[in-house]
Structure 1
């Protein structure tokens, strides 16, 4: 077996493994127990996706496509606006709840 992908963490390794398995490539995610040695914080570099030697070339092609995929471009001002809107509604809800609770006393 060869390492087709070196993942940053366990979740990413399983995402890539799922991608490969969906294309008919049998694979194995290794390093589950090595991450536990670092506690709750995920340690990078311990999880790898292994494939059979004959599937390595096709797996690397799929991994290259995965790595070159562009991330979603969400403008940061939209993210901040959404967070501010949620915070405003949450604070309003807490204020109404406090008025109701104080009125019930």
Structure 2
């Protein structure tokens, strides 16, 4: 097994995992079960996304094409409707 991506959080690790599994590449997440552990385990850490050696070149190309850790597009529309009134707000 080779590391194809080092994810800083669980969400990124699973995004990469699902992208690779969609291409029928087997994936193993190393360190996933240790996230948030107490005691001598770090509360936050790196999750390693690993694939078999044979498919590593294909997997690394897929991961490189993913939009991970990129700033949002400055010309993008905001997610909410800017013209909509907020309605009733709590006191």
Aligned to 1:10: 10
**Any stretches of 5+ residues in structure 2 without a counterpart?**
none
Superposition CA RMSD, Å: 3.0
Shift, 1:14, TM fit: 0.8
Deviations 1:16-45 (A, max 9, x none): 01100101111111212221226xxx7242
Deviations 1:44-80 (A, max 9, x none): 42x11100000100000001101477745435xx568
**1:59 and 2:59 are equivalent in the alignment:** yes
Shift, 1:81, TM fit: 7.1
Q: After the TM superposition, which residues 65-76 of structure 1 pair with which residues of structure 2 at under 5 Å, given as runs?
A: 65-67=65-67, 71-73=72-74, 74=76
Shift, 1:2, TM fit: 0.6
Q: How many aligned positions are there?
A: 84
Decide whether aligned partners of structure 1 residues 67 and 81 sit closer, same or farther in structure 2, where only a CA change above 3 A counts.
closer
TM-score (norm 1): 0.63
TM-score (norm 2): 0.71
Greater per-residue helix proportion: 1
Q: Which has the larger radius of gyration?
A: 1
RCO greater where, 1 or 2, for CA within 8 Å and sep 6 or more? 2
Aligned to 2:25: 25
